[in-house]
């Protein structure tokens, strides 16, 4: 019987560089040490230190919330008794005091379910740290994140109170 030699596809050099950068990133190390689920927790902490919106927010929605780093920061800083909801099509490990909907924000039913959760009250704060899977092409990635942000803005038009806060991530682009 003849042996078949399987060839492994070589990893792209860019993937290796990204992984190496990620594993040595000070915020990745710090988040693991301090128990945050993602390095992006520190982005939200910094934004809140500057604008101080978390203490003023009782009804809070986090779109694209998995793995839950921003929800952890919200839970630590929001007023006692706040209603906090995370929405993502990916699984989220439970966070005490935080509700979760496993839904895609592009489905019409999601807006209705979010509205029902907050009992048709307008929301104080909408967060979105969503990002599309990267293609490696900055122009395409920028257009894809713009599409996500537009959907977040559309959600905000329906759900956010007049003097509410919207915090969203966007990739730099053309």
- Alpha carbons 128 and 165: distance in angstroms, whole number: 11
Residue 84 lies in a domain: yes
C-alpha span between 93 and 102 (Å, rounded): 11
Domain count along the chain: 1
Does residue 21 form part of some domain? no
Q: What is the pTM of this model?
A: 0.81
Which has more confidence, 53 or 138? 53
CATH number at residue 150: 3.40.50.150
Longest dimension (CA), the chain: 74
50 catalytically annotated: no
pLDDT band at 15 (very low <50, low <70, confident <90, very high): low
Report the pLDDT value the prediction gives residue 8, as an integer from 0 to 100.
52
How confident is the model over 50-94, as pLDDT tens digits? 999 999 999 999 999 999 999 999 999 999 999 999 999 999 999
pLDDT value at position 28? Answer: 65
Task: For residue 32, tell me if it sits in a domain.
Answer: no
pLDDT of residue 92: 95
Range of 108's domain?
A: 52-168
Indicate whether 125 belongs to any domain: yes
> Does some domain include residue 46?
no
In a domain, 3, yes or no: no
CA distance 88 to 67: 9
pLDDT over 90 at 113, yes or no? yes
Does residue 1 fall inside a structural domain? no
């Amino acid at each position: 019987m003849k042996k078949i030699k399987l060839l492994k596809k070589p990893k792209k050099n860019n993937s290796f560089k990204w992984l190496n950068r990620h594993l040595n990133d000070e915020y990745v190390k710090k988040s693991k040490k301090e128990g945050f689920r993602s390095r992006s927790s520190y982005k939200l902490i910094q934004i809140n230190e500057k604008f101080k919106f978390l203490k003023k927010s009782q009804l809070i929605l986090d779109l694209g919330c998995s793995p839950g780093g921003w929800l952890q920061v919200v839970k630590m800083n929001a007023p006692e008794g706040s209603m906090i909801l995370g929405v993502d099509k990916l699984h989220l490990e439970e966070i005490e005091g935080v509700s979760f909907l496993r839904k895609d924000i592009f489905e019409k039913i999601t807006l209705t379910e979010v509205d029902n959760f907050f009992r048709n009250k307008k929301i104080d704060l909408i967060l979105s740290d969503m990002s599309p899977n990267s293609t490696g092409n900055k122009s395409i990635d920028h257009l894809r994140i713009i599409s996500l942000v537009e959907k977040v803005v559309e959600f905000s038009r329906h759900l956010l109170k007049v003097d509410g806060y919207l915090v969203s991530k966007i990739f730099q682009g053309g």
